[in-house]
Structure 1
Amino acid sequence: MARADRSGPHRVAFEKNKKRILKTENTCGICGKPVDKRLKSPDPMSPVIDHIVPVSKGGHPSAIENLQLAHWTCNRQKSDKMFNVKQEEPKVIGNRNLPQSLNWASYRSKK
């Protein structure tokens, strides 16, 4: 079965975003070093488009937010692992963490 970014409804969007990234980005999103866009495959330092969150892990196949420029070799080493992905932990706020809505120091009981 072909990958979602290579066939079907995501192919056109992926190709459009790929061209946009190749025009605007210059550094590898994985290692942070410059990418020489003149290099062609099979050169290990040739430019490729990497899915930040792999499609196999639920990443969107063609969203520009999920794509980045990378070296071919960096992308191969990353494979389907998740690096540099900011995952926000759900924050549970208990009643002790909420701001005080009343100054209880000035409260006086009626006796």
Structure 2
Amino acid sequence: MRRNRPDKDGTHRGAFEKNKKKIYATQTVCGICGKPVDFSLKYPHPLSPCIDHIIPIAKGGHPSDLDNMQLAHWTCNRQKSDKLIDSRGGGKQEESIGNRVLPHTFDWSNYRPK
């Protein structure tokens, strides 16, 4: 049975969309990898912009709170999955809790969809 996510089709949908627009208007750098996000790229391009929940909803993060949302590349967000990232300590990010580690094994900057 598929679970409904409150930021996609539940009570938080409107607030999520409003805060997503705010983030797209004010942020330009991926909160996961720290590289610029190109808003001209559209899904399914791996470097297209998306919203990352800093504390994943699956780990108890709020689905529409602006403080729990950040700009990310689609592929960075997919690789982060439902892990919690600790970015304290001079900007170096370390995985603090996670269920798997997915390495960056492909240079997505040269990707061209078919």
Letter in 1 for 2:80: K
Q: Which amino acid aligns with 2:17?
A: E
Percent identity reads 64
Aligned to 2:32: 30
Out of 60, 68, 72, the residue aligned to residue 62 of structure 2 is 60
TM-score by length of 2: 0.73
For 1:61 and 1:85, locate their aligned partners in 2 and report how far apart those are by CA, in whole Å.
Answer: 20
Listed as ranges, the gaps of 5+ residues in structure 1 are 87-111
Larger Rg: 1
CA distance in 2, matches of 1:66, 1:59: 7
**Divergent runs of 4+, >2 A:** none
- Structure (1 or 2) with the greater strand fraction: 2
1:5 aligns with 2:7: yes
Partner of 1:108: none
Please state how far the C-alpha of 1:85 moved relative to its aligned partner: 5.6
CA RMSD of aligned residues (A): 1.0
Length-normalised TM-score, structure 1: 0.75
Q: Which runs of 5+ in 2 are unaligned?
A: 89-114
| 2:46 counterpart of 1:44 | yes
| Count of aligned pairs | 86
